[in-house]
Structure 1
Amino acid sequence: MPRRAAAPAAAPDTDDAVITARTDSYFNRTKQIVQRFGDARVTYAVFLRRPVVSAPRLALDWMRAVAKARGVEIQIDLVHEEGTWVGAGDPLIYVTGSFVALSDLETLLLQKLGAACVAAHNAYQMCLELPKVAFLAMEARHCAGAEMQEMMAYAAAIGSRAAQAEGAKGFIGNANDLTAHWFGQKAGYGTMPHALIGYAGNTVRAAEMFHEAFPSDALTVLVDYFGREVTDGLAVARRFPELAAAGRLSMRLDTHGGRFLEGLDPAESYAVLERHAPGAIRRYRSETELRYLVGTGVSAAAIWSMREQLDAAGFPKVRIVASSGFGVGKCRVMAEAKAPIDVVGTGSFIPDAWSETYATADIVDYDGTPRVKVGREFLLRHEQRRKRNGGGQ
């Protein structure tokens, strides 16, 4: 069989051929028409239909790079600074320049803006719901390639900084090296996946292997592989008493939704919360909220139960890392239950409803004349509205 030729290196998305190939055809045709009939100076207003946190850096860096590559001037007016809240329908940026130069950029610009802003808003909300908890971004495994991975890590970092400005701990890092820079780190955090425990055949042995390979690192151990979270967690703590006493040992709870944490069932889950957060279970709850509180998987009851067992065994400084579906809603329920979480590992700031991430751009000015389709007048600047309505300065 002949050898397969290596794939050519991908051209940067500032290359005109790449932009033409990736953009919607009607924009490409518009560019050709305007080139034929005469250019115009236009202003685009870019917005989203839902509240977000402004996360425009990747989009704007790309716009500036395209302008430089094309040798054209593009004026960017960022209405909402990075990390600030933006209301639904509120223009986030205005972009002004040659219609010929801008007309084929809309598709890629919107791709780089909308999802980042929604993810940043999700991360911001999650951090505020659990302000005393540190977060670890685990976005990479849920992303469709490196470009999305970079975008989601950036968004989590921006949402986190907005929450940190309000007193939250926020995201302290992430789980891979490529995007660690967004969190001010040189490398990703992480110790072991379930596969290492399967390889070792024993949770304690997996912990020993890790500690022997990385003796200076803090140790976080997954304890759900064999369904013995408490038994194996305590065994690891007894094997590493010095790490436990120094607060350098953590138990990561990642129990899947098909079963309860060791020792729990519905009745015992209610009993655990009755001891620690009775108010959380006495108000009306949706089915999803009840599952987060007393259901299978990593529930508030599971976290409280693990904390009880660790404390009773003399390991009050062993930390608990919780993962598995920690989106905004689950973080809110955990806060109401006062769940004793030290760190949350999550990629659930990635938007669930992708249709909510669609950003939109409309031209609102042609050569100094305000003009926008009916129903989008709210995108006009105040001075444009006055001019459109015949008002003076």
Structure 2
Amino acid sequence: MTTPPTPAGLPGVAQARSSAALADADIRARTDSYFNRTRQLVSHFGDCEVTYAFFIRTPVISAPGIMLAWLDNVLKARGCTYSVNLIHPEGEWVGAGEPLLHITGPFSQLADLETLLLQKLGSPCVAALRAYQMALSLPRTRFLAMDARHCAGYEMQELMAYAASVGSRAARKDGATGFVGTANDAVAPFFETTHGLGTMPHALIGYAGSTVRAAEMFHDQFPNTDLVVLVDYFGQEITDTLAVCRRFPELAAAGRLAVRLDTHGGRFMEGLNPQDSYAVVNRHAPEALRRYRSDKELRYLIGTGVSAAAIWKMRDTLDDAGFPLVRIIASSGFGVTKCACMADAKAPLDVVGTGSYIPELWNETYATADIIAYDGVRRVKVGREFLFSATRPEQTKKDSHD
């Protein structure tokens, strides 16, 4: 038998913990009771072959890898033959309501898996689209996935990291750089890396007592790692940036020094106010201000926090001080809309650290499955007949002997 079209061989999926098979007792405890009862009824009254169609009500990018790897592991443990019809391969755009895939197999072996399969499908598909849109908005900017602290446990973190990697690979096909890594080791393989990326949190600067001293301590312990310094702790982004650059001129000249802007939304970056922010953006990208903007978009351009004005102000400061190779890394609320605003303002960003590709509206991530055939006879509940119209590439079978 050939292998089903699961992306389990792609970076990270084979190592994904959430793709590991669960014992039947664990599946029974975690699935909805009516699916457990359905399995019992079908086993008693006679099994049949069914075909499930999986779809999501919003546009997405197909990211079924972890789900399919988990399904394969479970059905392998059950000694069950099944087939997958992957209508939209991983990384492909899928319209709202279009079936992503069909799964065909014994009803008795699939009935109790629906809850867990849907958990592993909807959110990564939506997050993959958001990661793709962000990367495409800023095609020359590298992205770092920093979502772990915003996730509800490790399984969600794994799904989100996988989603970012899928959306990123799709964006690369369209010419973007995309996500180059993540902040911790466990999910680094999704990005074909072995370790998490990142240098220092604000707590280290508080411990050191000054931004320069924190940079010195970091460089002392990790001399071969590029130095990335947070510069907003004391509210002196410009002052502390220049102090660090002057302390490490060799690193600055070699392009091994970067400053990370993470100014919170309660204040302007040092040296800016509303009028100055407007002037900075108007000087570099006047067209970004000359069409209608929502309040949120205007804030991303010239408001408090890490705005386009703040990024341009920092770039001007570095260049004027003779540090043109010092890079700018930005974080703090970089989602789809903020990235698009930064693109409009031509903000000179080298790297964006973000966890905001996690879907904002969780109800948009709800995946749904319906059985559309019983022993080869097409049948579906009224209102879901559209699921019959999906194209059907050649199915690939899998059994317990592979």
Q: TM-score, length-normalised on structure 2?
A: 0.92
Change beyond 3 A, Cα 1:28–1:287: same
Tell me which residue corresponds to 2:33: 25
Q: Which moved further from structure 2: 105-114 or 31-40?
A: 31-40
Matched residue SS, 1:89: coil
User: 1:220–1:252: 8 Å Cα contact kept in structure 2?
Assistant: yes
Residues of 2 paired with 1:44 and 1:81: CA distance? 17
Alignment match of 2:90 (pick from 82, 89, 98): 82
Which residue of 345, 349, 368 maps to 1:341? 349
Distance (Å, rounded) in 2 between the aligned partners of 1:312 and 1:383: 58
- The correspondence for 1:68, drawn from 68, 76, 91, is 76
- How far apart, CA to CA, are the structure 1 residues paired with 2:384 and 2:246? 65
Query: How far apart in 1 are the matches of 2:384 and 2:50?
Result: 16
- SS of residue paired to 2:204: helix
Matches of residues 75-154 of structure 1 in structure 2 within 5 Å?
A: 75-154=83-162
- Give distance in 1, aligned partners of 2:376 and 2:54: 18
Tell me the SS of whatever aligns to 1:167. coil
Q: What CA distance in whole angstroms lies between the structure 2 residues aligned with 1:25 and 1:250?
A: 53
In 2, the alpha carbon distance for the partners of 1:274 and 1:38 equals 72
Cα deviation per residue 1:40-59 (whole Å; 9 max; x = unaligned)?
11000000001101110100
Distance 1:182 1:130 in 2: 21
What stretches of structure 2 of length at least 5 have no aligned partner? 1-17, 393-402
Q: What is the count of residue pairs matched by the alignment?
A: 375
Q: Which amino acid aligns with 2:95?
A: G
Does the CA-based 8 Å contact 2:61-2:94 persist in structure 1? yes
SS of residue in 1 equivalent to 2:99: coil
Larger RCO of the pair (alpha carbons < 8 Å, separation 6+):
2
The amino acid that maps onto 2:73 is A
Report the Cα offset of residue 143 of structure 1: 1.1
Task: Give secondary structure in 1 for the equivalent of 2:53.
Answer: strand
Instruction: Find the counterpart in structure 1 of residue 284 from structure 2.
Output: 276
Distance in 2 between the 1:13 and 1:359 partners? 21
- Check whether the contact 2:98–2:390 (CA below 8 A) recurs between aligned residues: no
2:337 aligned with 1:324, yes or no?
no
Counterpart selection for 1:374 from 377, 382, 393: 382
How many Å separate the matches in 2 of 1:348 and 1:73? Answer: 39
Aligned partner letter, 1:104: D
- Is the 8 Å Cα contact of residues 13 and 19 (structure 1) preserved in structure 2? no
Opposite residue 120 of structure 1, the aligned amino acid is A
Measure how far apart 1:381 and its partner are.
4.3
Between the aligned residues of both structures, percent identity stands at: 68
**Structure 1: how far apart are the matches of 2:338 and 2:105?**
44
Equivalent of 1:183, from 191, 194, 198?
A: 191
Q: Counterparts of 1:219 and 1:74 in 2: how far apart (Å)? A: 51
Q: Is the partner of 2:282 in helix, strand or coil?
A: helix
Instruction: Supply the distance in 2 between the matched residues of 1:314 and 1:194 (Cα, whole angstroms).
Output: 27
Residues 382 and 206 of structure 1: is their aligned pair in 2 closer, same or farther, counting only changes over 3 Å?
Answer: closer
Once the two structures are TM-superposed, the CA of residue 282 in structure 1 deviates from its matched residue by 1.3
Runs of 4+ in 1 over 2 A off after TM superposition: 381-384
Residue 14 of structure 1, CA deviation = 2.2
CA contact (8 A) 1:124 1:159 kept: yes
Letter in 1 for 2:226: A
Which runs of 5 or more structure 1 residues have no equivalent in the other structure? 1-9, 385-393
